[in-house]
Structures are given as structure tokens and as C-alpha cells.
Amino acid sequence: MIRMTGIRKEYRMGDNIVAALDGVDIHIRPQEFVSIIGPSGSGKSTLMNIIGCLDMADEGVYLFDGQEISDYSEDELAAIRNKKIGFVFQQFNLLPKLTARENVELPLVYQGMSAWKRRKRSEEVLERVGLLDRMGHKPTELSGGQQQRVAIARALAANPSLILADEPTGNLDSKTGAEVMRLFHELHEAGNTIVLITHDAGIAAQTPRAIHIHDGRVLEPAGEGEVVI
Amino acid sequence: MQTISMAFKAIWGNKARSFLTMLGVIIGVISVTVLVAIGQGTTASVTESISSMGTNLLTVNIQTRRVGFGGRNNRSGGGKGTVILRLDEILALEEDETIDAVSPTVSGSLTVKAGNTNTSASVMGVLPAYQHIINQGVQAGRYIIDADVENRSAVCVIGTELAQTLFGNTNVVGNSVHVNGRKFRIVGVLESKGTSMSGSSDNTIVIPFTLAQRMLESTSITSFYLSAVDSASVDAAQTAVERFLYKKYQNESTYSVMNQTQMLETISETTGTMSLMLGGIAGISLLVGGIGIMNIMLVSVTERTREIGIRKAIGAKRSNILMQFLIEAVVISGLGGVIGLAGGYGLMRVLEQFLDMPLEMSMGVAQLAIGFSMGVGVIFGLYPADKASKLKPIDALHYS
């Protein structure tokens, strides 16, 4: 699913050039549930941006779903994000003026799907996260946990190859956080590939495999024997 | 489709601001439609009042010509070196078989007073034939007659509007007014003709020519009206008058003879320029409205940076974002245009009462106003929309 070799990303801070990622090699297989864990400043956000095709690496090879992501135009990246990646963010990032259903339909709108198909699909995924009865509500009328479930439904809507979650429990209390994590496990069991980015070792421990990142490098393999350097 | 409903939602979600943004366009469209309608209405009513004078009419104007720098005792324009046109000379024109009647006119703006009411009105000295030449008789009393002219009688025929101003009604035959301190008996009330190019003919007071000449201190005739026997003879009559004037003045630039067709052309040229100017001013206000739209759209882009980031993250292409903001700008300006048209229509109905002039909203102007305001939306929406579409998804996502 994901194969990264020698990924490097640099930022200019004043006169200094800082390498946020300094030669990262990662391999994630289809249907895996992996967490990427590291403290703030470790480069995990940069890594997530590259995995999520929100940004491109300066050096190295990134194969996503068999496709090499390099020299893509902004619109081509947008198309990949739209069809193949479902994002779940720490701040939920729902559009406040749209209802839960309209939020879920948004990626499908950009695919040019017909209104009738969108309706059907949004109902399917909202049922999957257990919020079918709240679909007419605006995000402000929902609790944090419900908002995050709407965001997960939105991530699922386009039936993507990868679900990329950035600190999905970071803004939730531990109880609702646990509920959200349970939902991720269910999705994993249903065959979805999930990459979860976190700084919380407790969360990382719940995933079958954790990739540790520190100062822009992958530290050690974790989980079940898959060699990650 | 989706983008359009999204645009409406965004506009509806921010009603007060959207309306204020539209206001510029609304005012622009109102002013375009109303000003153009007033221009057209004026043209129509002027045209009507000219045609009501009949197609047989010829108007002659003479520039008082002075040789050299004029004489010292030249205050009446009748001094040395000036060719004086006398009454009997122009009356002789009536001998021509194509000319029906001739009347010299002399006019000036003088103070008219009745009781304690003072006003300034156009005083015209005419011959009895004038009423037939311009098709304006009396609705009460009588017109100026030959005896009045011969005796320089202090009698007058008064316009309806002037009568209203001075007496509060038009039933004024037998009353008297003071013109420049001289007492005049009102013998008749003019038919109402409405507003014309040289002010309202209802705001005039008509007195015998000979008396007017004396009061206005003019010895030479500077303008006269004549009517041809029928509309087919207008050209022949014009030629006859021009021949006469050329013989008299030996200089074509001294006088002008205009028939009604020429008069209409001159007037429509003037009113056309006026309409264009009014339309131009209104167009500028539309432009200002467009700048207002751009301003608000730029603010909106900044405010919605995060929204743009989210949309881009989940797969919106540049063109999607561009269209979203562009359509929003066009919907705002188009909606403003429609509201402006409705407002303009309403304002016209109100103004009709005050201006006493029928105002029509022309289809062409309505289409132009809507088209122009939407064009303004496109032009001034393009820059903010482009700016929005160029935001990078990661930067926009982390904007707070």
C-alpha cells in the first residue's frame, strides 16, 4: 500500500535549512492498522502530509497504491486525495455551515457523483458510524465524539484505499476517545487500511504495529516483525 | 448546480453582509435604470410637445449683428451698424403663397407679481397669429387680438402653471398681475401643454408684441415663428424665408431657419447626449459597487481559509474553489442587479407622480443592467477567487 524509500523534506527557517524528514523508509501493507508515533517536532506531521498527498517530498521515492507520487500537479494530487485517501483530523475539520450529511457528501460532490447516489452513499456510511439519526444536524449541534464520527464517515464516503487519521482522539475525552478507537478497530477488521498519527503511546499501543519517529528518522520497528528501517 | 446552491447558502448564511455588499450594485442598477428612463421620458415629452406645435412650423433666430465693436449708445442692440429687422418686413412674408402666418416673438424672464406672490416667469410678446402657428390657444377668456397690439394694451394671457403659482387656481380671467411693476389685466388662460425643451410653456405669460418690445427694450426682431400653408410646403416656405433673410443680411451665419424635423434632430441629439451622460454616471456607481464586492470577497477568502483547506484536503481542485468564489461573487452581483431593477421600477412609479412624466423601463436597459452587474461580479470576483484557489492545502488547513 505504502512504500517510502529515502524520503527527505527540508524547511528553511531563516538562514538555516532544517530537515523535517531525513531519509525515511516505511512500508505499510494493505489492510494494516499502523500508528506513527513521535513527539511534537519529530517530523510526524510532515510525514503525514506526504503520506496524505498534501505535500510532496524533496527527495526519495514514495509509492502509494502502486503509484509513484512525484512531480504531480496540485490537481492530480487533489484527485488522489479525493478518491484514495480519507482524512480524519484532530479538530474534526467539518464545515460548520453544512449538515452532517452534506459534510459526508462533500468528497463525493468533488467526484461529480449524482445527488441520488450521494444520498445513498452518505446514508450508508453514516449508518456505519451510528449517526444516521443525526444526519440533518450541523456540527455545532453535535458532541465532539459525534463530530469525529461524522468526520470518519466523510473519510469512508469515497471508499478510499487508505484512512489517514491525525490525532483523532486528541480533542476528545478518554471515554469518547475509546469509542472512536473502537470504531477504527471495527473498520480495520472490515478490511480498511488505516494509518494513525499520534504522540500518545497509549493510543499507539492499541494498534497492531507502531512506527516510531524521532528527529525526522524512523527509530525502530515495532509490532509484529515486519522490517521497518 | 451544486456550486450554485452552495453559493446561495454562503450568501444566505451571511445575510447582513451580503446585502451591504449588494447595495453598491443595487444603487448602481437603480440609478442606471431610473436615469436612463428619465432621459428617455424627457425626450419623449419634448418630442411630443414639439410635434404638438404642428409640422408646418418654421423657427427663425437672428443673431444681432454688430459691425466693429458696436456703438456707445448701443444698449438696445439697435445702434449704428446693426441691420434692424422691422415688423412690417417680416409680415410681408405672409404674401408668399407657401407661408400662412408669421409672428415675431420677443421674450425675457421678468418678475411677475400678484398680490403678495412674486415669481419669475418667461414673458413673451407675440402677435395674435402666434396661437395658430404653435397650436396653443386659450382654455378660458381670449387670446391677444390685433387691437391689443396696435394700442399696446396692458393685457396678458397667462399659462396654467403660472396661474396656479400666483393665484392658486386657473380661474383668473379678469384679475390682474404686475409685470416688472406694470399692471396687466388677464384676458385669457393658455391651454396646458406640459414641459418642453425651453422650460414649461405653462409657466409663461403672453402679452402684445409691441408692448413687450418696449418693455424689453428691443427694437430689432431677433426671432420669429411662421407656419407654412401645409406640410408639403414647408420646404418651399423655408427656402422663401432663407432667400429673404439672405437678401437682408448677406451672411448666412447671422440667422438660422429651422423646421420641426431639424428641431427634433437637434433636440434628440441633446437629449441623447444627456442620457449617455446620465447612464455613464450611473455606470460609474456600478463600478464602485463592483469594487465593494471585490473587497468583501477578499475578506471572505481570508476568513474562510480553513474551509478552503478542508475542501482541498478532501479533494477539491483549484477550479472547484475558483468556481465556488466566482459564482458567489456573480450571484451577489446578479441578485443585486435583480433587486436594483425592482427598486428602480418602484422608484420610477414614485417619480412619475413628482415629475408628472410617464417613465418606462426599457427592456434593453434592464438586460444591460443585469448583464453589466453580473459582468462586474465576474471581473471583481476573479481576483479573490483566484487568490482562494491558489492557497496551499496544508497552509490553509493549519490557518486559524
Any domain includes A130: yes
Please check the confidence at residue A43 and state whether its pLDDT lies above 90.
no
What is d(CA B6, CA B8) in angstroms, rounded to the nearest whole number?
5
What is the Cα–Cα distance from B361 to B37, expressed in whole angstroms?
A: 6
Bridge partners of residue B158, in order along the sequence: B189, B205
Tens-place pLDDT, residues A3-20: 999 999 998 888 888 888
Q: Residue A121: inside a domain, yes or no?
A: yes
**Looking at residue B308, what is its pLDDT?**
93
A19 touches chain B (CB under 8 A): no
**Residue B344 and residue B289 share a domain:** yes
Half-sphere exposure of B164 (CA within 13 A, CB side): 7
User: Which chain B residue's Cα is nearest to A154?
Assistant: B314
Question: Do B40 and B73 fall into the same domain?
Answer: no
Q: How does pLDDT run across A157-202, given as a tens digit for each residue? A: 999 999 999 999 999 999 999 999 999 999 999 999 999 999 999 9
- Shortest Cα–Cα distance, B310 to chain A (Å): 6
Residue with cell 421620458: B41
In a domain, B195, yes or no: yes
Model pLDDT, residue B1: 63
- B314 and B231, same structural domain? no
User: Number of A:B CB contacts under 8 A?
Assistant: 56
- Same domain as B359, residue B286: yes
Percent of chain A past pLDDT 90, that is, above it, reads 72
Give the CATH number for residue A103. 3.40.50.300
Å between B46 CA and nearest CA of chain A: 56
Instruction: Tell me how far apart the alpha carbons of residues B30 and B42 are, in angstroms, rounded to a whole number.
Output: 18
pTM assigned to the model: 0.71
Containing B271, the helix (H) or strand (E) segment is helix B260-303
Contact A87 B314 (CB under 8 A): yes
The answer to whether the Cβ–Cβ distance between A78 and B10 falls below 8 Å is no
Could you tell me if residue B322 is inside a domain?
Answer: yes
Give residues with Cβ within 8 angstroms of B392, minimum separation 6: none
Is A74's CB within 8 Å of B310's CB?
Answer: no
Q: Do the domain assignments include residue A229? A: no
> Most B CBs within 10 Å: which of A48, A80, A81, as the mutation test of the B interface?
A81
| d(CA A29, nearest CA chain B) in Å | 23
Across A44-48, A117-121, B177-181, the highest mean pLDDT is recorded for A117-121
Closest alpha carbon within chain B to A114: B2
Which residue matches cell numbers 384676458?
B187
How far apart CA A6 and CA A44 sit, in angstroms, is 15
Is residue B341 one of the residues assigned to a domain? Answer: yes
Looking at per-residue confidence, does B365 or A127 come out higher? A127
Q: Taking a C-beta distance cutoff of 8 angstroms, is the pair B205, B107 a contact?
A: no
In a domain, B258, yes or no: no
Interface contact flag, A81 B314, Cβ < 8 Å:
yes
> What values do phi and psi take at B256, rounded to 5?
-135, 135
Within-domain flag for A77: yes
Residue B357's domain comprises 2-48+268-397
Interface of B with A (CB under 8 A): 2, 9-10, 13, 306-307, 309-320, 393-394, 397
Q: Please give the pLDDT value at position B3.
A: 75
Query: Are B234 and B85 found together in one domain?
Result: yes
Asked if residue B255 belongs to a domain, the reply is no
Cα separation values, A75 from A162, B100, B389, Å = 19, 84, 11
Q: Does B75 share its domain with B219?
A: yes
Q: What pLDDT sits at residue B366?
A: 87
Number of domains forming the structure of chain B: 2
Contact B10 A97 (CB under 8 A): yes
Residue B242 has which C-alpha cell?
432663407
Q: Looking at residue B69, what is its pLDDT? A: 44
Q: Are residues B272 and B244 in the same domain?
A: no
ipTM for the complex shown: 0.91
Closest residue of chain A to B308, computed from CA coordinates: A95
Is residue A110 in a domain?
Answer: yes
Average pLDDT over residues A135-151: 94
- Based on the domain organization, do B32 and B70 belong to the same domain? no
From the list B283, B356, B337, the residue with the least C-alpha distance to B41 is B356
Residue A229 confidence (pLDDT):
40
pLDDT of res. B192: 82
CA distance A221 to chain B (A): 28
Query: Do A149 and A92 contact (CB within 8 A), yes or no?
Result: no
Percent of chain B with pLDDT over 90: 27
One-letter amino acid at B218 equals: S
Most A CBs within 10 Å, among B2, B14, B17, B314, to test the A interface:
B314
Q: Which domain holds residue A131?
A: 31-44+73-218
User: What average pLDDT is seen over chain A?
Assistant: 90
Strands (E), A141-215: 162-166, 193-198, 209-214
Q: List the single residue in A with minimal CA-CA distance to B312.
A: A78
Contact criterion met (CB < 8 Å) for B2 and A54: no
A78 reaches B (C-beta below 8 A): yes
Structural contact between residues A129 and A183, judged by C-beta atoms closer than 8 angstroms: yes
Residue B58 forms part of a structural domain: no
Report the pLDDT value the prediction gives residue B68, as an integer from 0 to 100: 43
In a domain, B75, yes or no: yes
Q: Is residue A35 part of a domain?
A: yes
pLDDT tens sequence for chain B (400 residues): 677 887 888 888 888 888 988 998 899 889 888 888 888 888 887 777 777 777 788 888 887 654 444 444 444 444 445 677 888 888 888 888 888 889 999 888 889 998 888 898 889 999 999 988 888 888 889 999 999 999 999 999 999 888 988 988 888 899 999 998 899 999 999 988 765 544 567 888 999 999 998 888 877 888 889 888 887 888 888 898 888 888 888 888 888 888 888 878 888 888 888 888 888 888 888 888 888 889 998 998 999 999 999 999 999 999 999 999 999 999 999 999 999 999 999 999 998 888 777 788 888 888 888 888 888 889 999 999 999 999 988 888 887 6
Q: In this predicted structure, what is the pLDDT of residue B217?
A: 82
Strands (E), B174-283: 176-179, 182-190, 195-196, 199-200, 204-208, 223-228, 255-259
Q: CB-based contact (8 Å) between A160 and chain B?
A: no
* Cell numbers placing A48: 503525514
Q: Is residue A175 in a domain?
A: yes
pLDDT score of B169? 87
Strands A209-214 and A217-218: antiparallel
Q: What total number of domains does chain A contain?
A: 1
Residues B162 and B277 in one domain: no
For residues B128 and B154, membership in a common domain is answered with yes
Search chain B and give the residue with CA nearest A158: B314
Looking at the fold, whether B192 and B223 belong to one and the same domain comes out as yes
**B266-277 b/e with 16+ CB inside 10 Å = b?**
ebeeebeeebee
For residue A4, is it within any domain? no
Same domain membership, residue B365 and residue B221: no
Burial class (CB in 10 A: 0-12, 13-18, 19+), A149: buried
Q: Is residue B285 part of a domain?
A: yes
Nearest CB partner across the interface for B315, out of A55, A107, A115: A107
